Amino acid sequence: MKTIKLIITGIFISVLSFGVMAQGPPDPPDGHGSDQDEEPGGNAPLSGGVYVLLGLGLVYGGKRIYELRKNIQT
């Protein structure tokens, strides 16, 4: 009986979530991308943030490898 309730609850939640997935994206705010030279989404630079994230990932990965090697040697 408990499994049947769990299955019915899962199906009910799945069916309700279809309405949320069917909605389109919201409209952009007024004046956003109104100039011909300006692309929608603004002109935010992404390269600086990408390099910071890559650097942090390399540091974290190096730390993990160092800790794993240290644990293997002991």
What pTM did the predictor assign?
A: 0.40
Q: What is the pLDDT of residues 41-53, one digit of tens each?
A: 566 677 778 888 9
Q: State pLDDT tens for residues 14-48.
A: 888 776 666 677 777 766 555 555 555 566 677 77
Answer positive or negative: Cα dihedral of 16, 18, 19, 23: positive
Token pair belonging to 37: 């030279």
